[in-house]
A and B are shown apart, each in its own frame.
Chain A
Amino acid sequence: MKSAVKIWREKEERLESLDKLGKVVSWTRILEAPAGFEGVYIVVMVEMRKGKRVVGELIGKKEPEFGARVKGVLRRIGKRDKAGVIEYGVKFKLI
C-alpha cells in the first residue's frame, strides 16, 4: 500500500498536466503489466506546450501517431489498491 502521506504530498505533481495540451513523442502498448496494473494499455510520452515531457496512459485502444495532439484529463491512476488512498491524476486523450 503506497503511503497516504506520499500520495498527499505528490498531489500537485500528479495534476500538473490536467487540462493541458501536448503532442505525442513516442508510445508503447504494454502487454505484460507490472504488479498493481491490469490488462493491456497504451502509455505515451507527451511533450507539453511549454516543452516539458511527461509520460501517462493514453485513453482508448486506438494507437496514436507521432505528433498527435492530446489533452490531459482527470482519471484514477497508479497501482490498483483496494484499501489504500486513491491517486487521481492525468491520463491523455487524443483530440
Chain B
Amino acid sequence: MNPVIRGVYQTRFGELWDEGIKELILEAGKGAMKDAGVKVEEIDLVLVSNMLGSRFENQGHLGAMATSLLGIKAGGLRVEGACASGGLAVNQAVTAIKAGEAKTVLVIGVEKMTDKRVEEVTQGLMGAASEEERRAGLSFVGLYALMARKYFKEFGAGKKDLAYVAVKNHSHASMNPKAQFPFEIDVDKVLGSFCVAEPLGLFDCAPITDGAAGLVISKKGKDKREVEILASKVATDSPSLTGRKSLLELEATKIAGKKAYKEAEIKPDEIDMAEVHDCFTIAEVLAIEDLGWVKKGEGFKAVKKGEFSLGGRLPVNLSGGLKACGHPVGATGVKQMVEVVTQLRGEAGGRQKKQARLGLTHNIGGTGGTAVVHILKKL
C-alpha cells in the first residue's frame, strides 16, 4: 500500500535575516502538522533534510534538535545527499512507512545560507562535488557551465535559448507569494546579467536562499486532501563530473525516472505537471529530456515554444522552480512535494494547472551524483 501526504507547508523563501535554523524548523514542522491536522503525539519519526548546517554553523544532530523543538517524543534523524537531501528524506519516510516502522512521519527540509558571504557559500556547496573538482577552483556554476558549453556545441544552442527557462520560471513565481523572486523578467534581463562562469550568467543560476518546508506522510487514511505517493526512486552516479559517461545527460535522472514510471505503472507523458531541479537553466533543459518528455537536444526548443509553461502540455516548475522560488538546498526536495500536492489538491490559485491528476518531482544532488524522482497521484 502506498503512503500518502496529508499535510504540507512551506515558509517564505528568501534572505530571512530574522530566522535561524531553529526558527525555520519550528515554522515548517508546526505548519505541516497543522495542515495535516495531526497532533505531536501522532508523529512516529522525524526526518530532517539539510546539507550545510554542520559545516556552516557547526550544528549537526538536527534530528534530535527538531524533535526537541517541536516537542515530539519519537526519534528523528538527519538525511543528507547534497541538494537531493529533501527528496531523499521523503524517500526514507516512504521506506519507513512501507516497512511498517512508522505510521506517520514528519519530514522537514531546511537550509540557512545567508549567514555566510557568497564566496563562502560557493565554496561550501562544492562539498557536493569531488576533491579534484574543488582543487581545480571549480564552482557549481562552473561545473554546470562545462555541461552547458558541451550542450551548446552538440545541439546548436546558445545563451539566449537557456534564457527562456529563467523567464518561464519567473513568470510562474510571480503568482507564488512564497517565492524569493515573485516577479517577471524578460530575455534581455537574463542576457544582460553579468557572467558568473562562462557561458552561464547570474540569471542562469538559482539564488542563495533561506527557507524550510514540511510534510506529514502517513499510511493511507480517509482524508479527502490526501495525495498518494505512487513512486519514490533513488539513483546515484559518480559525484564527480569526470566520472560520468556523458556531459549531455544526467544518467541518474534517467535511471530514477525509469524506475519511478515503472513502479507507478505510467508513461512519461501521462504526467500533468512537475517540479524539476533547475539549479541552473541548463539543468532544467537536461531534466526534461532525461525524464522522457522531449528528445535529447530538443529541450530548449520546447521550452521556448511554451510547452512547459503554465498553459502548455506539461507545466514545469509552477512554483517558480529553484531559480525564482529560491533554493534553500536541503529544503528544495521537500518544497517540490509541497507544490505538487498543492496543485493536485487544486489549491494553487493563479498558477494552478487545471485538473492536475499526476505530478512528478525531480531532485538532484550535486551535478547529478544523486537523483530522486517521486510520482504523486490525486486520490
Q: Report which A residues bind B (CB closer than 8 A).
A: 10, 13-14, 25-37, 41, 43, 45, 52-57, 66, 77-79, 87, 89
Return the contact of A77 from the options B122, B135, B196, B243 (Cβ within 8 A): B135
| In the complex, B150 has a CB within 8 A of chain A | yes
**Contact in complex: A30, B135 (CB < 8 Å):** no
Return the contact of A57 from the options B136, B150, B195 (Cβ within 8 A): B136
Bound-complex Cα distance A28 to B152 (A)? 13
**Contact in complex: A32, B150 (CB < 8 Å):** no
**Contact in complex: A32, B122 (CB < 8 Å):** yes
**Contact in complex: B153, A30 (CB < 8 Å):** no
**Contact in complex: A32, B197 (CB < 8 Å):** yes
| In the complex, B220 has a CB within 8 A of chain A | no
> Are A66 and B153 also in contact (CB < 8 A) when A28-B198, A32-B122, A35-B122 are?
yes
Bound-complex Cα distance A41 to B132 (A)? 16
Min distance, Cβ B188 to any Cβ of chain A, angstroms: 20
- Using C-beta atoms within 8 Å of the partner chain, give the interface range for chain B: 35 or more
**Contact in complex: B123, A55 (CB < 8 Å):** no
Return the contact of A27 from the options B119, B149, B194 (Cβ within 8 A): B149
> Are A53 and B242 also in contact (CB < 8 A) when A34-B119, A34-B137 are?
yes
Min distance, Cβ B166 to any Cβ of chain A, angstroms: 18
Q: How many A-B residue pairs have CB under 8 A?
A: 94
Surface stretch bound by A, among B7-15, B139-147, B263-271, B287-295: B139-147
**Contact in complex: A30, B133 (CB < 8 Å):** no
- B117 to chain A: closest residue by CB: A35
> Are A35 and B123 also in contact (CB < 8 A) when A26-B146, A28-B198, A55-B241 are?
yes
**Contact in complex: A45, B126 (CB < 8 Å):** no
**Contact in complex: A41, B137 (CB < 8 Å):** yes
In the complex, 13 of the A-B residue pairs with CB atoms within 8 angstroms, ordered by the A residue number, are: A26-B149, A28-B145, A30-B137, A30-B197, A31-B197, A31-B198, A32-B118, A34-B138, A34-B139, A35-B119, A45-B242, A57-B137, A77-B135
| In the complex, B41 has a CB within 8 A of chain A | no
> Are A34 and B126 also in contact (CB < 8 A) when A26-B147, A55-B138 are?
yes
Min distance, Cβ A55 to any Cβ of chain B, angstroms: 5
The residues of B that contact A34 with a CB separation of less than 8 Å are 119, 122-123, 126, 137-139
**Contact in complex: B141, A36 (CB < 8 Å):** no
